[in-house]
């Protein structure tokens, strides 16, 4: 049996809906899956064990062209099941038996629960899950190296308003490296895309050379594998944060101009710290412009983040 699964273009959204893919694979372990996803998120699925074909959306001059190219690659196959997490038209125009589409949100509902509604599990949604091959996991262990625990830091995000100031991350790292820190002897891994190096570099350079790991020039599946090796993750609301949570790493998300009730980190091994101001208060400030407004995360203190991490680690290690 073949299953067509249409995922999101954004990394975070693709991660949050990945539990649906995992549930389908558990139910149909012999099925052959074709997964369609945007260029940013498609690498997340490279190690999915049921993968037959990965179709990558490429940006086109005309917005509808990528859907046309997807149709060309799927229109001549019979699909017993099509799952569309993007509410596109593709499920209506390819040969198929059953079509499952993500519903429109009826009020505030976490995106994991909304994804679960696709398969009738909004009240008991399958948790996000990502897959790492044995070879990739072995490679990640070599990259991380050593026996000391590693705390991963994600100091970037997809826009400036969601970024906790770099100097706060630097102060936090100093406390984490202290002998009295929550994980004595820990090393710090700083994770960012190559295009985000300028934002992440002040944090990286603040760490002694023998206690830092730079994870900035790695393919996304290798980042997934590396995060799986870490003892904790702290970072802004981003795709990386959701990846860390999905692979089971204790994850602390930092939130300001985003809604935790919709996009908070998922799972019993996660927690978050948010600004004193609500989402509505932050984006309602005079002169607010998503493209030009600087950090809206300044009301989060280093003490808050440090204490939240200590509490999270105590909770997950019980």
Contact 192, 154 (CB under 8 A): yes
What confidence score (pLDDT) does residue 69 get? 79
Pick the CATH number of 134-316 from 3.20.20.80, 1.20.1290.10, 3.40.50.2000, 3.30.590.10: 3.40.50.2000
User: Do 132 and 228 meet the contact criterion of CB atoms below 8 Å apart?
Assistant: yes
Can you give the pLDDT at residue 223?
98
Look over the chain and give the mean of its residue pLDDT values, rounded to a whole number: 94
List where CATH 3.40.50.2000 sits in the chain: 2-119, 134-316
Give the three-class secondary structure for 128. coil
pLDDT band per the 50, 70, 90 thresholds, residue 68:
confident
Question: Can you give the pLDDT at residue 114?
Answer: 97
Measured CA to CA, the distance from residue 286 to residue 191 in angstroms comes to 33
The Cα–Cα gap between 52 and 211 comes to 41
Domain 2-119 has CATH 2.60.40.10: no
- What pLDDT, on a 0 to 100 scale, did the predictor assign at position 106? 82
The per-residue pLDDT for range 75-117, each reduced to its tens digit, is 888 989 999 999 887 878 888 899 999 998 888 999 999 999 9
Flag whether pLDDT at 63 surpasses 70: no
pLDDT at 73: 81
Cα dihedral 201/205/210/213 (nearest 10): -10
What pLDDT, in 10s, does the model give residues 237-278? 999 999 999 999 999 999 999 999 999 999 999 999 999 999
- pLDDT at position 60, please? 62
* pLDDT on residue 64: 65
**What pLDDT sits at residue 58?**
76
**Closest Cα to residue 85, out of 31, 132, 23, 133?**
23
The pLDDT of residue 71 is 74
Share above pLDDT 90 across residues of the chain, in percent, rounded to a whole number: 85
Backbone angles phi, psi at 26, to 5 degrees: -65, -35
Write the DSSP assignment of 2-62 as a string of letters: EEEEE--SSHHHHHHTHHHHHHHHHH-TT-EEEEEEETTTGGGGTT-TTEEEEEEE---SS
């Amino acid at each position: 049996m073949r299953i067509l699964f249409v995922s999101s273009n954004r990394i975070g959204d693709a991660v949050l809906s990945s539990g649906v893919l995992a549930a389908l694979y558990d139910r149909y372990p012999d099925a052959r899956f074709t997964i369609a996803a945007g260029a940013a998120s498609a690498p997340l699925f490279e190690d999915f064990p049921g993968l037959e074909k990965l179709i990558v959306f490429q940006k086109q001059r005309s917005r509808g062209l990528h859907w046309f190219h997807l149709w060309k690659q799927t229109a001549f196959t019979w699909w017993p099941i099509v799952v569309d997490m993007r509410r596109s038209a593709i499920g209506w125009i390819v040969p198929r038996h059953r079509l499952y589409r993500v519903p429109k949100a009826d009020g505030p509902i976490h995106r994991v629960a909304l994804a679960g509604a696709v398969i009738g599990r909004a009240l008991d949604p399958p948790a996000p899950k990502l897959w790492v091959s044995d070879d990739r996991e072995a490679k990640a262990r070599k990259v991380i190296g050593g026996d000391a625990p590693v705390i991963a830091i994600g100091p970037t995000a997809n826009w400036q308003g969601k970024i906790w100031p770099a100097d706060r991350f630097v102060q936090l790292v100093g406390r984490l490296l202290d002998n009295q820190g929550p994980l004595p002897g820990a090393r710090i891994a700083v994770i960012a895309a190559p295009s985000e190096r300028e934002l992440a570099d002040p944090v990286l350079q603040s760490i002694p050379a023998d206690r830092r790991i730079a994870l900035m020039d790695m393919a996304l599946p290798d980042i997934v594998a590396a995060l799986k090796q870490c003892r904790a993750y702290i970072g802004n609301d981003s795709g990386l944060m959701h990846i860390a949570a999905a692979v089971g790493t204790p994850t602390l998300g930092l939130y300001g101009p985003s809604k935790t009730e919709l996009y908070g980190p998922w799972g019993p091994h996660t927690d978050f710290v948010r600004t004193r101001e609500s989402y509505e208060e932050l984006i309602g400030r005079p002169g607010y412009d998503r493209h030009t407004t600087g950090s809206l995360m300044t009301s989060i203190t280093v003490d808050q983040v440090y204490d939240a991490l200590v509490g999270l680690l105590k909770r997950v290690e019980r």
